[in-house]
């Protein structure tokens, strides 16, 4: 029964491209454009059709990880691209709309990231082997969206562009004290200290990131200028001339936005400037994909701009600039995916085949979220005073 129901659904669903499904009984059924070369999917177990019909957002990725769903040529990119392209052409069925509403209603629980829970969530993803991240990130391990000024930019060049733009938006001056919330492996903090003669305090909840960041600051001769602490953003004291947070806000959780921005306001000097860099949604509030929430980023959420701005307004901070990056993260993820695949054997030696498939699915799905599903990056500049930032954007071009 379930294979037949799945087949009936796919006949209506696939209107773009070509898909072939080989069912457990050996039957091969084609869907979509019969003239095009199909993406060929093999269902290895009898119960998979039921799982894919009832909860595709979770079980497609789970089945690929476990090997109960395989794609000829391991073309998971082709499969996900085809599915998302067709999904964009559909009016969501009422059952799916209700499911999405229930997911949003459950965000208060799933994103209740207390300090202890936040530490566990961070450890799940960021306390993996540090060698893993060296295999696909740039040399400074920037694990956030790069800024491609040209289609010919390398990943290294695009990450350097990103750091330069952040520096310009922070309006850095020699001797200032900068707070880096979610400092990662220390690449941005070290760059700011080295190139702008500022003092930087970076905070992270990842023990592995903290260890690497401290070692890098020492190796760079910046141990007295750059300090890294294992600390939650809610536990920071003192004030800072500049505050930057890149790729951390996605882990805060909607229930904690008022606390986050209140803390940011209280930590910022009266004439200070802050910059928030976060993944977001162009199509309004939603919910985290359940496969991503279970396997990659527990407690994580990429917000709509409307969800962020309301919390900022209530905090008393001024929004002094907003920039929206569209396909930059898609290109960043493509570069990461290419490097990951070229180092696949080394990744397999660190973990196992299931981990490789999980990570491949994550990188592909994330890239396509930016190409097909309305994900973008927001850079929001903030201040406590209206005149803390120049009244035109000319300074961005003028600053080195």
Q: What is the 3-state secondary structure (H, E, C) of 176-190?
A: CEEEEECCCCCHHHH
- Which tokens hold the place of 371? 């190409």
pLDDT tens readout for residues 280-307? 999 999 989 999 999 999 989 999 999 9
Q: Work out the pLDDT band at 95, boundaries 50, 70, 90.
A: very low
Is the pLDDT at 98 greater than 80? The verdict is: no
Q: Looking at the chain, how many residues does it have? A: 400
pLDDT tens readout for residues 192-237? 999 999 999 999 999 999 999 999 999 999 999 999 999 999 999 9
pLDDT at residue 94 in the model: 46
CA-to-CA separations, 25 to 21, 75, 106, in angstroms, rounded:
11, 22, 39
Rg (CA), the chain: 22
0.95 cut: is pTM over it? no
Q: Which structural domains are found in the chain, ordered by start?
A: 2-90 (no CATH), 110-398 (3.40.50.150)
Is the pLDDT at 114 greater than 80? The verdict is: no
Name every residue whose Cβ is closer than 8 Å to that of residue 100 and which is 6 or more positions away in sequence: 92, 286, 287
């Amino acid at each position: 029964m379930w294979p037949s129901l799945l087949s009936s659904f796919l006949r209506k669903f696939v209107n773009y491209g070509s898909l072939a499904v080989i069912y457990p009984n050996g039957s091969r059924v084609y869907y979509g454009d019969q003239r095009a070369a199909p993406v060929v999917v093999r269902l290895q177990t009898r119960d998979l059709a039921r799982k894919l019909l009832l909860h595709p957002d979770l079980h497609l990725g789970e089945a690929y990880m476990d090997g109960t769903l395989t794609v000829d040529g391991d073309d998971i990119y082709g499969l996900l691209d085809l599915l998302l392209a067709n999904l964009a052409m559909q009016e969501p069925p009422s059952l799916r709309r209700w499911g999405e509403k229930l997911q949003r209603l459950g965000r208060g629980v799933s994103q209740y990231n207390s300090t202890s829970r936040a530490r566990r969530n961070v450890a799940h993803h960021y306390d993996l082997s540090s060698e893993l991240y060296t295999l696909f990130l740039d040399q400074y391990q920037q694990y956030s969206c790069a800024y491609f000024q040209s289609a010919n930019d390398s990943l290294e060049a695009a990450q350097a562009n990103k750091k330069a733009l952040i520096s310009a938006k922070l309006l850095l001056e020699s001797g200032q004290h900068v707070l880096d919330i979610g400092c990662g492996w220390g690449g941005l903090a070290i760059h700011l200290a080295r190139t702008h003669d500022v003092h930087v305090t970076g905070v992270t909840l990842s023990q592995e990131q903290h260890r690497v960041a401290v070692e890098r600051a020492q190796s760079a001769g910046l141990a007295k200028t750059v300090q890294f602490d294992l600390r939650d953003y809610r536990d920071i004291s003192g004030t800072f001339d500049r505050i930057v947070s890149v790729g951390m806000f996605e882990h805060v959780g909607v229930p904690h936005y008022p606390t986050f921005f209140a803390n940011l306001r209280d930590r910022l000097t009266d004439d200070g400037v802050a910059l928030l860099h976060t993944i977001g949604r162009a199509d309004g509030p939603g919910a985290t994909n359940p496969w991503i929430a279970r396997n990659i980023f527990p407690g994580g959420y990429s917000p709509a701009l409307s969800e962020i701005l309301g919390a900022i307004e209530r905090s008393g901070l001024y929004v002094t600039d907003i920039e929206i990056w569209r396909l930059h993260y898609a290109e960043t993820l493509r570069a990461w995916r290419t490097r990951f695949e070229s180092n696949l054997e080394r990744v397999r030696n660190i973990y196992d085949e299931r981990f490789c498939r999980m990570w491949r699915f994550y990188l592909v799905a994330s890239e396509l979220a930016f190409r097909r599903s309305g994900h973008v990056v927001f850079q929001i500049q903030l201040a406590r005073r209206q005149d803390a930032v120049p009244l035109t954007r000319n300074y961005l071009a003028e600053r080195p």
